[in-house]
Structure formats: C-alpha cells, structure tokens
C-alpha cells in the first residue's frame, strides 16, 4: 500500500482513480463498469445516507422498497421516459431455467413501477400527499464508467411523491432540492448552485428538472443531486388518480428526486489534494486518528496509556476516533496513510506530551506547521470538537473561494469559450437548443443549470446575441 | 381499510396474508413472486437491520457492497454451489441494446463474486481475518412465493469472512449464529433452537451449516437465520490464498451467514393473533400510540393538550410514540386499527384522565380489562418504559411456552408421525438420508436441525431403529 498518487496537475483523472483505490474506497469489479465499494468507502456512504435519511424523515417522508425487476412494458408507457432509458437497460430474459414471456428490466430508476403501485394505493385526497423514499441499487448500461462517478450499477435514494395540486408538487420538488443543497453544504462542505435544468438536460419524463451543481478540483462541474417535477406525465401514463373533496376524479401531480454514490466522487474531487483524500468531519468515517510516538519499550507503555485515555474521552464525547497502535508501522508511515485516507485530524502523543499533559493536533487540510497545535489534555474533547467544526467550516470556505475564483461572467463568445476551458462561465442565454448545441460542439461545455439566483434584468445571449431573460451556468461536466 | 381478518383457526395461511396486507406491511408487486415493502413494513425491517448491524459492528465486522450482476462462469466454479442455485437464477442476457457475450446472473447470494475479490485483497496473514457484511437485495426464481417468507427478490444481509485457520472459521460461524440467536430472542422476542443442519438441508457449497429455528403460530418451523462454515471449498474454487508467518502459501477458510426480510414473516407468525399483528416493543416502528377521547369541542382542546404533552414527554425519553389526532375517525376505529397494526401499547386520554392527571394504558398482548391500567402523568415516561420492557419479556415467555407445549419427544414412529402434524418432534436419528427421506415422504416433515443442546448418551433412530448418537428436531417447515 501507499504507492505514489499521481499529482493533480499531471493527470487529474489518474489522480482521482489513484485516490479512490489507494484510500481503499472502492475497487474495480470483474463485470465491466461495475465497482466494489470497500468498507472505508461504504462507511462514508453510510454517513451520506444517514445525513440524507434524517432530513427526509424530518420533512415527512417514509422509506419503502419496490421491486428490482420491472416489466419491459411499464417502461414503454411514458414516451419520453422510454426514449431516455432504452439504450441503458439491462434485461433479464431467462428465469428459473426458462425464457420469460415478457422480459424484465433491471430498474434504471423506479418511476414506472412506483407509479403502478401508487395507482392502486391512492384513492382519495385523504391519501395525499404520498411521500415515499427508497434506498436502492439501480443499473444503467453506461459505456464510459468511472468509480463512483458513473458506474453501471450504483446505489442511491429515489424519492417519489404524489400530490393533489400542481403547486404542492412544485413546492415538494423545490423543498427536496433545498434538502440536497443543505446536505451538500452543511455535511459535505460542498458549495452548490441551485437551479433549473435546460430542456435538453432535464430528466426523461419530467416537466421540469432542478439540480445542485458543484465545482470539482479540475474546475469541471458535477451534478450532485436532482429533483424533478413530473407534472401529470406519469400519473396519466399509470392512471394515478384521486377523488377530490368534491368527489371528482383527478390526476395526481408527482415528483421524483435522487442522490447517489456519485456524491462520494464529488466529495473526493472537491476537497482532495495531492496527498490524497480530505474528508469533511461531519461525514468522515474516522474523524480523529491517534498515533502514539514512542522509541523505547518504556516510553511505549506510558504513551499507549495516554492514547487510550484520550481515545476513550473522545469516543465518549461522540467523536469517531481511531487509535492506530499497530507495531509494524512507523509513525511517519501512519501519518502518510491517514493523510491519504483523508482523516480530518491527527493526534500525536509522545513521551514529552504525556509529561506535559498535552497532545499535538495536526489538521489534514493544513499541511505542515500551520496546521499543528498543542492542546492540553484538560478539556480536550471540547477543543477537538471545536476544531472539527472549524475544519468543516474552512473546507467549505476554501471550496467556495475556489469556485468563485474560477467562475467568470464573460461578455463575448471568445472570452466565454476560453472561460469554460477552466471554470464555470455564467452568461445570458436565449434558451434555444441551437445555442446550447453550438456551445457543446465548440467547447464541450453544457448548460449546468439556470440558477435561481439571477442578476435581474435582461441581456443578450452569449451565443447568438438574441434577447435573453436568464443567465445560465455553462461548464464542462462529469 | 380494516376489513375482517380471517381467523387463524379457519385458515392460517389466509390469516397471514390478511395481516400482512391489512397491517400495511407489504403488497403484491406486478412481477410474479415479488413484493412491495410498504412504509410500515420497511420501518420494521429498518429496526431489524439496526439491531443486527449494531451486533455485527460490535463483533468487528464492516459493511461493504459488491455488484448485483455476476458472470455466469463464477457460479460454475464451485460444483455444489452451481447445482444448488442453477434452477433459481435470473439471467441478464442483454445490456445496452446488445446481446452479452457472457450472460450475467442477478446475484442469488454473493459467495462467488466476493470470493473473486477476496482472492485479490488477501495477500498475507496480516490481512486476516477479513470480516465483511453486505446489506443487499438478492433474486431467486422461486415458484411458490409468499409475502416476506419466500419472494423472488428479497432483502437481506450476507456476511462473508476469511480466516487463517479452520478453527477460527468455525468460531466465526458459531459466533454469528449466536448473534442471530441473541437478536431473535432479545429484540424479536422469538425463542430459537440453535443447531447444525443435516447434510441434505445444508447450504450448497458449505462444509457445515447451522441455523436458528423458530416455531410459528401454526406450529410449523421457520429457519430464521443461517451460518455456514464453507471450509476451503470457495477458497479453492476462487484461489483465496495467503502467505502465512512462515512465508508458505495457504488457502483461507471462509464462512458466510445471512438473515433476511423473512424475519419479518417470522415475527408476524410468532406473535400475531386474530386481531392482527403484535410487535415486540424493541422492533415496533411505533411503540406507543396515543388516542385522544373527547366528545365535545370543549373537551377536545384540553384532551389534545394533554396528549401532546404526553407525546413530547415520551419522545424525549426515547420512546417511539405516535399521537393519532385524526378527526375523521372515532376512538374505537383507531383502537382497531392500531391493534391490527400491532402497536404494543395504547394510551387513551379522556377529559376525566386529564382531571385526574392520569392516562389509561392498554397492552396489545393482553386484550380487554386484563391489559389495562391507569398510570399517573407524574413519572409516566419511566412507567411506560418499564411496561414496554415487561411486554417484550412476556411476548418471549408466551412464545417459549407455546413452543414447549407443542414440542414432544415421541419414542415410536407412529407417535412421531402424529407429533409432527402439530408441532416439533425431537427424536433420535441415525443420520442417514434414507431415514430423512422416509420421514419427509410419510409426514412432510424435515429435520430442522440437530440442536447443540443434546440429551447426551445414545438412542435408537426413530425411523429405522439403528443406533443413534444425536437427536434432531423434526417439523413441517416454511
């Protein structure tokens, strides 16, 4: 272990894969495009799950579970949906040794099968809103895959809600986008731009899609979560109707929203550096690692006692702490390993620290002396908790400053084309697909979203010069 | 909702399905043999998961995630394994619009793909033991399915461990069986018999399988969890080897163990009665439901205030409490509904209770007056917590007494044949497959397991009269 990580400046994509593998987050699976999520990566995902699940429950959602296998005919009921997903399907044609009468699709997403069930469950306005989330695996036959970012199978949550009115559905759609943004910014320390997807970029079957977009360390964009207002598209396709208070049969208004293991890739690329991973304290499986430093057997026993006492104190205070007391590795080797694995804070305890009743705390996000401090044993749990809060805040601030430093507002197409080479370009856009297409062809950049936060007024489309009422964020994207 | 539940005495199987559906635990899916786990059923499963996951982590296991799709050739590497699972496979033959070169199997269990990865991850004795668990969905093409008990797709956890020695693997196998037994008895209030499966009943590819077996309300047996010692069968098939301390290459010893959503069916059938579900407090999604009782608008406001105060008090004390303040239903209707849904304890608060600063507590497991008591508002949280502990204990005691009342030790084959009609028969068995087969043919009963807890000494096989050194539990099983 602990091979050399390719520097970001040399090959960002290689850096990413090195970090994922060497930090032991994930590994390649024997099936093309699939990955194995290793224990450390899965522990990170469990913390992502907890952070989201708590928020879903606090906003009135319940979890449920729907089948993995969906009759092929279901996919075909919503025209845009089938068109969007057909090229990506994995199809079960044989079961129990026989060929099936109707092929079954391994779910690429669950609007159709959930729509089918909602049609049976929803009778009257009293059954609404129906607010359900599912934690599940999905399969999409992707050609170009990358660990966490785009894999044939991935883990995610998909929320599916049904409402009595268009207004409620829209409120829900935006509420869940806010939940994602809050999770991303508060827990993952990832600043995001909330906005509406363009017509070409929206979900297959949605009336309107919304996303949160983040800037990665190579200045490309990553869509970290999406929330869709499905209007009545799926309720008409699946006959999801309710009797309203006047006893009139109405179609429901539905939404769906999802965040996936892709978020893990996002965290890696927003915070990581050439030493490896840097994890935000709120999601880090290990928040604090304690490394004992002793040369002689005599020193070792006193140092280990102190390490164990500190470990207990921190664990009791709710800190996720790990004492690395392995004999076979030197302190320097351990420093490297835990830096590579992104533990936010390292505590070193040597004989002198024991004598002085102190510890050395070293921040992962501030290499060298700058990030080191001496903390007295007395009141250590509070000091460490405060430091973790500070690290969380600093990681967010750094990511935000980075994004701002690499976001420009070009006013002509030449400057625009240069800008999307190395960052986000925010520009007026007339809304036409033709202009989107041209940008994509010229620069490989796409509209990420049309931010909620608009400058106001009107302008001229950065591409065609026609009048434009909104600005969009353009960038190359994952 | 709240239709009539078929009495158990009339049709136990129908009773079961009525309870599952009317208590809103699960529903049939449009794909044959699949189910939808509804929010209430999923919340119960989440509590099962938490109870197990906590125990897995406390015994040193980590969670990870392996791919859903497994190359067909992997299944074929272990001879018994492929023979056991081939008839049950769902096979993906097409992906991304093309026919695949090698078909992929939707995992029926993950020994093979995990074995493939372990072969890469394990190099030396320092990498051992490797203790990993996975929470996942699996698909087995079952012909006769029943909600929760046997479905084509089900949710489960599967532990997979690798060890340096046969002894360690055997210890792990039994440790996890103990974990299952402790979960079943402490959390699910389900008494279980721990023992070894016979050769015919063991897992396809195992050296030895162990199970916990429980008695359902119709006196049939249900295998609630299994733990397998896989010996070196899979390490040889997948080349999982390590360098020992003397630098000699050795095959690992592996284990696997699983518990599934079947456990939910087990809980239903062990505790339920003709009124519906009865949930053990430690797993109940709602432990206490509060029903306000008020006739006039005037009464209503004071009663609701009291209900809300009680609800807050209990929630603060960590009780999972629900206040059912719905206007549109009468208290009697609510009583029925929450009884059907198995909430362990109901609190009723009327104007008189408000005046007397008390509540009425009604136990789900003791219908009528016997289960009702008045509890003063002062110190209510403690009294309720104690009562929940008492209910948990009483449910276990009742299930144990039921099992003991329906377990016999017949000494001749005629009595034996009668005994397995309505309960467990514990009898000496010579260990031969021929005798197992005869019992199955004559009575539909199978060996459930050979309990660890043996009478000692020797006896005569209940079937053939040959000398026997062990007793087995025989029963009809789910």
Q: For the residues of A214-277, what is the DSSP string, one character each? A: EE-TTS-EEEEEEEEEEETHHHHHHT-EEE-TTS-EEE-EEEEEEEETHHHHHHHHHH-BTTB-
Cβ pair A97:B86 closer than 8 A: yes
Same domain, residue pair A79 and A189: yes
Same domain, residue pair A367 and A439: no
Same domain, residue pair A441 and A367: no
Cβ pair B62:A70 closer than 8 A: no
- Rounded mean pLDDT for each run of 10 residues along chain A, 478 residues in total: 84 98 97 96 98 98 98 91 90 95 96 97 97 98 93 98 98 98 98 97 95 98 98 97 97 98 98 98 98 93 97 98 95 97 98 97 95 97 98 98 98 97 97 97 98 96 97 98
In a domain, A219, yes or no: yes
- Measured at the CA of B271, the angle between CA B266 and CA B273, to 5 degrees, comes to 120
Cα-Cα-Cα-Cα torsion B79, B82, B87, B93, nearest 10 degrees, comes to -140
Answer yes or no: are the C-beta atoms of A67 and B35 closer than 8 Å: yes
Closest-CA distance of chain A to residue B34, Å: 7
Residues of A in contact with B42 (CB under 8 A): 62-65
Which contacts (CB < 8 Å, 24+ apart) does range A5-11 have? Answer: A5/A274, A5/A275, A5/A276, A5/A340, A7/A274, A8/A217, A8/A218, A8/A273, A8/A274
Closest-CA distance of chain A to residue B104, Å: 9
- The pLDDT of residue B4 is 86
Closest-CA distance of chain A to residue B366, Å: 30
Closest-CA distance of chain A to residue B54, Å: 13
Same domain, residue pair A241 and A196: yes
Residue B90 has which token pair? Answer: 């769902």
- Cα–Cα separations (whole angstroms), residue A32 to A142, A143, A147, B70, B328: 10, 9, 11, 11, 55
Specify which residues A37 forms β-bridges with: A26, B65
The helices-and-strands tally (H runs, E runs) of chain B is 14, 25
Same domain, residue pair A137 and A63: yes
Residue A396 CA, chain-centre distance (Å), reads: 15
Report d(CA B228, CA B243) in Å as an integer: 24
Cβ pair A97:B117 closer than 8 A: no
Tally of domains in chain A = 3
- The pLDDT of residue B222 is 98
Provide the pairing of β-strand A372-376 with A459-460.
unpaired
Closest-CA distance of chain B to residue A262, Å: 15
Residue A264 has which token pair? Answer: 């893990």
Same domain, residue pair B323 and B451: no
Please give the mean pLDDT across all residues of chain B: 96
- The pLDDT of residue A81 is 85
Residue A371 has which token pair? Answer: 């990030």
Same domain, residue pair A343 and A264: no
Residues of A in contact with B126 (CB under 8 A): 328
Pick the last residue of a domain from A208, A242, A271. A271
- Measured at the CA of A90, the angle between CA A88 and CA A94, to 5 degrees, comes to 155
- The pLDDT of residue B240 is 98
Report d(CA B302, CA B292) in Å as an integer: 10
Hey, of A90, A145, A154, A261, which one would you mutate to test binding to chain B, going by the most B CBs within 10 A of its CB? Answer: A90
- Decide which of B4 and B118 is more confident: B118
Residues of A in contact with B90 (CB under 8 A): 69, 92, 94-96, 104
Cβ pair B89:A97 closer than 8 A: yes
Cβ pair A141:B96 closer than 8 A: yes
Residues of A in contact with B29 (CB under 8 A): 66-67, 113, 117
Report d(CA B447, CA B292) in Å as an integer: 51
Nearest CB partner across the interface for B90, out of A74, A86, A92 = A92
What is the band of B347 on the pLDDT scale with cuts at 50, 70, 90? Answer: very high
Cβ pair A64:B39 closer than 8 A: yes
In a domain, A279, yes or no: no
Residue B264 has which token pair? Answer: 């939910």
- Decide which of B257 and B78 is more confident: B257
Report d(CA B308, CA B135) in Å as an integer: 37
DSSP letter for A108, please.
Answer: S
Nearest CB partner across the interface for A30, out of B38, B71, B90 = B71
Residues of A in contact with B94 (CB under 8 A): 89-91, 93, 103
Closest-CA distance of chain B to residue A134, Å: 10
Cβ pair A68:B106 closer than 8 A: yes
Residues of B in contact with A44 (CB under 8 A): none
Report d(CA A416, CA A419) in Å as an integer: 5
End-to-end CA, chain A: 28
Report d(CA B462, CA B415) in Å as an integer: 10
Same domain, residue pair B77 and B166: yes
Pick the last residue of a domain from B217, B242, B271. B271
Cβ pair A137:B137 closer than 8 A: yes
Cα-Cα-Cα-Cα torsion A173, A179, A180, A184, nearest 10 degrees, comes to 160
CA-nearest residue of chain B to A138? B68
In a domain, A399, yes or no: no
Closest-CA distance of chain A to residue B471, Å: 36
Pick the last residue of a domain from B394, B422, B442. B394
Report d(CA A146, CA A167) in Å as an integer: 38
Residues of B in contact with A106 (CB under 8 A): 68-69, 92, 106
Same domain, residue pair B255 and B388: no
Report d(CA B178, CA A437) in Å as an integer: 62
Cβ pair A30:B65 closer than 8 A: no
Residues of B in contact with A132 (CB under 8 A): 39
CA-nearest residue of chain A to B87? A96
The helices-and-strands tally (H runs, E runs) of chain A is 14, 25
CA-nearest residue of chain B to A104? B31
Cβ pair A92:B106 closer than 8 A: yes
CA-nearest residue of chain B to A37? B65
Residues of B in contact with A74 (CB under 8 A): 30
Report d(CA A350, CA A342) in Å as an integer: 22
Residue A326 has which token pair? Answer: 């392995």
In a domain, B276, yes or no: no
**pTM more than 0.95:** yes
Cα-Cα-Cα-Cα torsion A341, A343, A344, A349, nearest 10 degrees, comes to -130
Structural domain boundaries, residue B297: 288-394
Report d(CA A88, CA B96) in Å as an integer: 5
Q: Using the structure block, give the residue that is written with the tokens 């078909």.
A: B103
Residues of B in contact with A143 (CB under 8 A): 96
Residue B267 has which token pair? Answer: 């809980």
Specify which residues A408 forms β-bridges with: A425
In a domain, A160, yes or no: yes
Same domain, residue pair B241 and B330: no
Report d(CA A351, CA A332) in Å as an integer: 16
In a domain, A283, yes or no: no
In a domain, A48, yes or no: yes
Q: Each residue of B378-387: pLDDT tens digit?
A: 999 999 999 9
CA-nearest residue of chain A to B123? A1
ipTM above 0.90, yes or no: yes
Nearest CB partner across the interface for B91, out of A31, A63, A94 = A94
Closest-CA distance of chain B to residue A8, Å: 27
Specify which residues B289 forms β-bridges with: B322, B346
Same domain, residue pair B442 and B298: no
The mean per-residue pLDDT over the stretch B320-341 comes to 96
Answer yes or no: are the C-beta atoms of B238 and B252 closer than 8 Å: no
Nearest CB partner across the interface for A68, out of B62, B121, B139 = B139
Nearest CB partner across the interface for B66, out of A36, A74, A93 = A36
Task: Return the half-sphere exposure (C-beta side, CA atoms, 13 A cut-off) of residue B53.
Answer: 14
Same domain, residue pair B306 and B338: yes
Residues of B in contact with A85 (CB under 8 A): none
Cβ pair B132:A39 closer than 8 A: yes
- The pLDDT of residue A347 is 98
- Cα–Cα separations (whole angstroms), residue A364 to A288, A444, B334: 10, 35, 55
Cβ pair A87:B71 closer than 8 A: no
In a domain, B132, yes or no: yes
Report d(CA B380, CA B359) in Å as an integer: 9
CA-nearest residue of chain A to B102? A31
- The pLDDT of residue B2 is 52
**Cα–Cα nearest to B47, from B338, B320, B285, B280:** B285
**Cα–Cα nearest to A271, from A260, A259, A281:** A281
- Indicate which CATH number applies to the domain containing B376: 3.40.50.800
Angle B262-271/B380-405 helices, nearest 10 degrees?
90
- The pLDDT of residue B143 is 86
Hey, of A21, A36, A97, which one would you mutate to test binding to chain B, going by the most B CBs within 10 A of its CB? Answer: A36
Residues of B in contact with A68 (CB under 8 A): 68, 106, 137, 139, 153
Cβ pair B96:A116 closer than 8 A: no
- Indicate which CATH number applies to the domain containing B457: 3.30.110.30
Cβ pair B93:A97 closer than 8 A: no
Cβ pair A94:B90 closer than 8 A: yes
Q: Dihedral sign for Cα A136, A141, A146, A149, please.
A: negative
Residues of B in contact with A88 (CB under 8 A): 96
Cβ pair A36:B116 closer than 8 A: no
């Amino acid at each position: 272990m602990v091979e050399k990580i390719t520097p970001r400046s040399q090959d960002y994509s290689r850096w990413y894969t090195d970090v994922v593998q060497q930090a032991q987050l994930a590994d390649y699976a024997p099936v093309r495009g699939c990955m194995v999520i290793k224990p450390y990566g899965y522990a990170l995902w469990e913390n992502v799950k907890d952070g989201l699940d708590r928020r879903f429950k606090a906003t009135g959602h319940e979890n449920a579970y729907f089948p993995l296998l969906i009759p092929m005919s279901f996919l075909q009921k919503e025209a845009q949906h089938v068109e969007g997903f057909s090229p990506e399907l994995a199809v079960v044609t044989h079961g129990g040794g026989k060929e099936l009468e109707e092929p079954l699709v391994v779910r690429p997403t669950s609007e159709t099968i959930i729509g089918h069930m909602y049609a049976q469950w929803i009778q009257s306005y009293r059954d609404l809103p129906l607010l359900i989330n599912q934690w599940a695996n999905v399969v999409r036959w992707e050609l170009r895959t990358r660990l966490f970012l785009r894999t044939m199978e991935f883990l995610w949550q998909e929320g599916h809600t049904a409402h009595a009115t268009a207004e409620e559905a829209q409120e829900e759609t935006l509420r869940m986008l806010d939940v994602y943004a809050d999770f991303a910014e508060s827990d993952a320390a990832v600043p995001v731009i909330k906005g509406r997807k363009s017509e070409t970029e929206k979900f297959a079957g949605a009336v309107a899609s919304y996303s949160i977009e983040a800037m990665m360390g190579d200045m490309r964009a990553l869509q970290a979560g999406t929330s869709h207002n499905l209007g009545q598209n799926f309720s008409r396709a699946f006959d999801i109707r309710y009797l309203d208070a006047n006893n009139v049969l109405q179609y429901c208004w539905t939404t769906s929203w999802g965040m996936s293991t892709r978020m893990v890739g996002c965290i890696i690329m927003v915070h990581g550096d050439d030493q490896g991973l840097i994890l935000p304290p709120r999601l880090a499986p290990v928040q604090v690692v304690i490394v004992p430093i002793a040369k002689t057997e005599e020193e070792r026993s006193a140092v280990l006692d102190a390490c164990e006492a500190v470990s207990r104190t921190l664990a009791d205070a709710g800190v996720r702490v790990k004492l690395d007391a392995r004999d076979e590795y030197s302190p320097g080797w351990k420093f490297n390993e835990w830096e590579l694995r992104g533990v936010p804070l390292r505590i070193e305890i040597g004989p002198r620290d024991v004598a002085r009743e102190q510890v050395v705390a070293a921040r992962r996000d501030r290499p060298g002396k700058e990030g080191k401090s001496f903390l007295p044993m007395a009141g250590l749990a509070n000091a460490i908790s405060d430091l973790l809060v500070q690290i969380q805040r600093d990681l967010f601030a750094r990511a935000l400053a980075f994004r701002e430093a690499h976001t420009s507002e070009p006013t002509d197409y030449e400057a625009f084309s240069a800008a999307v080479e190395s960052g986000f370009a925010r520009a007026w856009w007339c809304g036409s697909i033709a202009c989107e297409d041209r940008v994509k062809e010229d620069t490989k950049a796409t509209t990420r979203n049309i931010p909620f936060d608009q400058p106001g007024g009107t302008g001229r489309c950065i591409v065609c010069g026609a009048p434009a009422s909104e600005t969009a964020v353009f960038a190359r994207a994952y």
